[in-house]
Structure 1
Amino acid sequence: MKKNHTMMQFFEWHLEADGAHWNRLKEMASMLKENGIDSVWIPPAAKSETPDDNGYGVYDLYDLGEFDQKGSIRTKYGTKEELLEAIASCHEHDICVYADVVMNHKAAADEKETFEVVKVNEENRNEDIGEPFEMEGWTKFTFPGRGDTHSDFKWNYTHFNGTDYNASDDEEGIFRILGEDKAWNENVADEFGNYDFLMFANYDYNNPEVREEMISWSKWLTDTLEVDGYRLDAIKHINYDFVKEFAEQAMEHGGEDFYIVGEFWLSDLAECQAFLDNIDYKIDLFDVSLHFNLHNASNAGADYDLREIFEDTLVKSHPMHAVTFVDNHDSQPEESLESWVEEPFKQSAYALILLREDGYPCVFYGDYFGINGPAPEEGKAEAIDPLLYVRKNKAYGEQEDYFEEANLIGWVRRGTEEMEGSGCAVVISNEGDNSLTMNVGEEHAGEAWVDYTRNCKDEIIIEEDGTASFPVMGESVSVWATPDE
């Protein structure tokens, strides 16, 4: 039978820039697998504008910590050799590795060029400000530290359709590059009129050279790292037609099991559904709508109706294409998309993504190991590990929901014959102490069940008809199942 799979986002925004992260992954692979993690999404591996950049200010996609560029040979996370060793360690322990692919922009160009632009309104990028003019911009990428190793492709202003810095006048803004067939890509999110431009020098996917180069690079990356899939960054800013083409080519090259999930950061379910339609369901998406439901539930406390937790979510409408998550590097405190799921709801939120039959759950490194930076958070492995254990060993079989009260919900998984000892019952309260009567199946009659979270200490006995009253403490979750030795 198919066992449950669980992903971990193996980084947070404020990891120490010590070049040791690939080594951490190598050393932790065995522990991650033992605890129920069988895939990891690693941070962007390419050389960025500085040695302490998180990888999203990408400079050279072909430098994975191999060449002396932008102040170091290594990236923030380590060297290419260390990365390869980390991936090999993951594969040794049957953990899939998904590379974070940043294909929207480039930063820290090697040379300036002169070209014609028009400044646009940042609140409406379809609205020009003033007349076209010539400016100097940092748009020429020659990669002198790498030369032609791995690729002889060099980038210049014709490969971009916008930039955010006028070097002629030391002026920041959004400048649309002009020329033949130059325009914002139309098949993108319509925030700010047109959300093609995000930052730095923005790739022009109307340019066939850019499309060809990025597909060629992706095949090189797959072969070089032998990764099992991709996480695509910021795809609401990228031509949807190209995302589809890119995914088709990457999966054809990587093989039938090659996996792709995209960051399409919009909480509007209809827009997510439209995107999946546009790309013919070639990839999965992170369930941003569910994340915001969890965030709102954590802030509202007892005022939140738990029966609504899955309303307007991707995991409810498209369960086969939803990667569920509680938080990530952007939603953590003080970051660009801050929408942190607060205590005491955090463990309940993880139960909601880990212990149900639908969705591909992703555990955040920052929740598990802790967060550094201006808003530090302690790791919550002790709260998450019991849920990972139950997901790995117990959360199988038919699911029945008991979503009947605003402040008290639960569900059961009745288990399967193939997974001996499987079956569980989950109860969540966002108010006071309570209990919920649920039926786990007559096959469990007479069994003694315990709460794996240890929030409730006593055991309960399943009655002859398969029912039991499952307790839960106030503002917490309890996960009931048969104890293992």
Structure 2
Amino acid sequence: MKRNQNRFFRLVVALSLTVLLLGGCNKEQPINDAKQSSATAIVKNGNYLKTTTNASVMMQAFYWDVPAGGTWWDALSTKVDDWSAVGINAIWLPPASKAQNGAYSMGYDPFDYYDFGQYFQMGSTETRFGSKTELQNLISTAHQYGLKVYADIVINHNSGGASEANPYTNTSTWTSFTPASGLFTRTASDFHPNSFDQSDLGAFGGYPDLCHNNPHVQDWLWKLPNSVAKYYKNVMGFDGWRFDYVKGYEPWVVREWNNAAGGFSVGELWDSNVDYLNWWANEANSSVFDFACYYAMNDAFDGNDLTKLNRDMMWKRNPFRAVTFVTNHDTDEIWNKLLAYAYILTHEGYPCIFYRDYEEWLNKDQMNNLIWIHNNLAGGSTNILYADNDEYVARRNGYNNAGLVVYINNADTWQERWVETNWSNTRIKDYTGHSNWEPVTQSGKWVKVQAPPKSYTVWSVK
């Protein structure tokens, strides 16, 4: 999705936490005596342990209006080593091809799908992010460190065409596309309305709307050997897709693209209706962003009512097709972000981390710790154990790992609660380092756990 170029960012409050080394206390402490300690509880030789199970965390590797000047691909190339080391398994890149605004565009106004910064058109040779060679180097470097690379695919609308007489509207429209690559030329017959389809499902911002029922459009988007889908996959090396504004076209389009090119895919279906999200994911044979979860978290953490986390969400309905997120380039509404990340990184679904949250706005040690917890402890089904305005406790039941109990506390004071675990007569500890309490579960698997104010703890076997 596009945003106005003059978008301003919300104020970000720096997090200030008292950090102590993780203690070795082996007995329960009264809650008012418990100390906060470092979130970097799991460290080996100065680095977070490489993920061992459930290793799926995506990085949205851009934000709106990243620095112009053709430096972004190179900047990302310097980060993929570190991202891989902490357990991120994939990066999602912005639309990579030449768009109407050339060197200033974020890519959501596509013109030439085959120009990755090697042709002079739209006022520049490079895209905002760099050259084709720099993009290929980034993809190659990411692959060397075991990261998959997902392309942002904008196929609802195009921009930058020349004016031509349009027999379907009896007006002149900006629908004549003759890209410098010489590939996927388009005319009025390739856009709504035309002889193939008079409807206009996805009118967006006044841009010409591609008609996916047109065989010419289908050929160039996914059917031909050098179609956009196959060129991105086989020549450029992309491993998967993030489909922009999928409300603008039917889910069979994504399904056909995936059948032709393969790879992971996720759709941006901006809707909180879980029935709709699940229907689309099944029809498209694709994952979908869990906007139901996003809005529930916003109401829960910023509305001071954690019972909102009891709502239906895509990850609860269809976890293997749910991509959970806290922020993206279009949205930045959740204020208590760290609590939200503690939620998505301990629950089911494929969590996506936002670049600025990770690199600029939040505590990176705490984020790395949550990624480690996700990849090593957060397996199996989920049971919600307790929820009220201030407290939320859930259990992951484990799958090739021990599972966990997550305790999120939105109150202004320490809280403690008895919960039922999966472990009998077992010493457990908090893997976030926020509590150095190490209780032993009873024979009936019950144990008392605690969480500091406006924070969280994650418990598992020691």
With normalisation by structure 1, the TM-score equals: 0.77
Aligned counterparts of 2:277 and 2:299: Cα–Cα separation in 1: 20
Deviation at 1:380, TM superposition (A): 4.0
Deviation at 1:316, TM superposition (A): 1.1
Aligned pairs for 1:463-474 within 5 A? 463-465=441-443, 466-474=445-453
Residue equivalent to 1:321? 321
Aligned counterparts of 2:453 and 2:278: Cα–Cα separation in 1: 36
Tell me, yes or no, if structure 1 residue 107 matches structure 2 residue 159.
yes
Deviation at 1:61, TM superposition (A): 0.1
Deviation at 1:75, TM superposition (A): 1.0
Structure 1 vs Structure 2 CA RMSD: 2.3
Residue among 98, 108, 121 paired with 1:56: 108
CA deviations on 1:409-453 (whole Å, 9 max, x unpaired) are 11234656x65xx54331012234311222444466235x2351x
Deviation at 1:233, TM superposition (A): 1.0
Q: State percent identity of aligned pairs.
A: 27
Aligned pairs for 1:16-415 within 5 A? 16-49=67-100, 50-109=102-161, 111-116=162-167, 134-143=170-179, 145-146=180-181, 148=182, 151=183, 153-161=184-192, 177=193, 179-185=194-200, 194-215=201-222, 216-251=227-262, 258-279=263-284, 282-301=285-304, 304=305, 306-332=306-332, 340-342=333-335, 345-356=336-347, 358-370=348-360, 378-396=361-379, 399-413=382-396
Deviation at 1:57, TM superposition (A): 1.0
Residue equivalent to 1:170? none
Residue equivalent to 2:47? none
SS in structure 1 of the partner of residue 103 of structure 2: coil
SS in structure 2 of the partner of residue 363 of structure 1: strand
Aligned counterparts of 1:242 and 1:389: Cα–Cα separation in 2: 36
CA deviations on 1:176-197 (whole Å, 9 max, x unpaired) are x4x5344115xxxxxxxx5454
Deviation at 1:19, TM superposition (A): 1.5
Shift of the 405–208 alpha-carbon distance from structure 1 to 2, 3 Å rule, reads same
8 Å contact from structure 1 (residues 160, 203) kept in 2? yes
8 Å contact from structure 1 (residues 413, 440) kept in 2? no
Residue equivalent to 2:8? none
Unaligned runs of 5+ in 2: 1-51
Aligned counterparts of 2:145 and 2:425: Cα–Cα separation in 1: 34
Tell me, yes or no, if structure 1 residue 429 matches structure 2 residue 409.
yes
8 Å contact from structure 1 (residues 48, 60) kept in 2? yes
Deviation at 1:386, TM superposition (A): 1.8
8 Å contact from structure 2 (residues 69, 103) kept in 1? no
Structure 1 letter corresponding to 2:416: S
Residue equivalent to 1:336? none
Aligned counterparts of 1:298 and 1:457: Cα–Cα separation in 2: 21
Structure richer in strand, relative to its length = 1
SS in structure 1 of the partner of residue 78 of structure 2: helix
8 Å contact from structure 2 (residues 202, 209) kept in 1? no
Aligned counterparts of 1:477 and 1:212: Cα–Cα separation in 2: 51
Aligned counterparts of 2:364 and 2:437: Cα–Cα separation in 1: 23
CA deviations on 1:369-409 (whole Å, 9 max, x unpaired) are 23xxxxxxx34424322211212233335644312434311
Aligned counterparts of 1:35 and 1:10: Cα–Cα separation in 2: 15
8 Å contact from structure 1 (residues 320, 359) kept in 2? yes
Aligned counterparts of 2:207 and 2:163: Cα–Cα separation in 1: 13
8 Å contact from structure 2 (residues 242, 268) kept in 1? yes
Residue equivalent to 1:127? none
Aligned counterparts of 2:188 and 2:310: Cα–Cα separation in 1: 45
Structure 2 letter corresponding to 1:217: V
8 Å contact from structure 2 (residues 397, 403) kept in 1? yes
Shift of the 159–472 alpha-carbon distance from structure 1 to 2, 3 Å rule, reads same
Aligned counterparts of 1:287 and 1:414: Cα–Cα separation in 2: 22
8 Å contact from structure 2 (residues 55, 89) kept in 1? no
Structure 2 letter corresponding to 1:462: V
8 Å contact from structure 2 (residues 419, 448) kept in 1? yes
Tell me, yes or no, if structure 1 residue 460 matches structure 2 residue 451.
no
SS in structure 2 of the partner of residue 246 of structure 1: helix
8 Å contact from structure 2 (residues 267, 289) kept in 1? yes
CA deviations on 1:153-177 (whole Å, 9 max, x unpaired) are 311111111xxxxxxxxxxxxxxx4
8 Å contact from structure 1 (residues 369, 379) kept in 2? yes
Deviation at 1:46, TM superposition (A): 0.5
Aligned counterparts of 1:196 and 1:443: Cα–Cα separation in 2: 58
Aligned counterparts of 1:312 and 1:445: Cα–Cα separation in 2: 33
Aligned counterparts of 2:251 and 2:439: Cα–Cα separation in 1: 54
Structure 2 letter corresponding to 1:5: S
Aligned counterparts of 1:404 and 1:250: Cα–Cα separation in 2: 43
Structure 1 letter corresponding to 2:441: E
Alignment coverage as a number of residue pairs: 404
SS in structure 2 of the partner of residue 202 of structure 1: coil
Structure 1 letter corresponding to 2:458: V
Deviation at 1:482, TM superposition (A): 6.1
Deviation at 1:271, TM superposition (A): 1.9
8 Å contact from structure 1 (residues 196, 238) kept in 2? no
With normalisation by structure 2, the TM-score equals: 0.81
Shift of the 310–56 alpha-carbon distance from structure 1 to 2, 3 Å rule, reads farther
Deviation at 1:277, TM superposition (A): 4.4
Aligned counterparts of 1:440 and 1:278: Cα–Cα separation in 2: 37
SS in structure 2 of the partner of residue 184 of structure 1: coil
Structure 2 letter corresponding to 1:78: G
Structure 2 letter corresponding to 1:53: S
Deviation at 1:33, TM superposition (A): 0.9
Unaligned runs of 5+ in 1: 119-133, 162-176, 186-193, 252-257, 333-339, 371-377
Aligned counterparts of 2:419 and 2:195: Cα–Cα separation in 1: 66
8 Å contact from structure 2 (residues 80, 145) kept in 1? yes
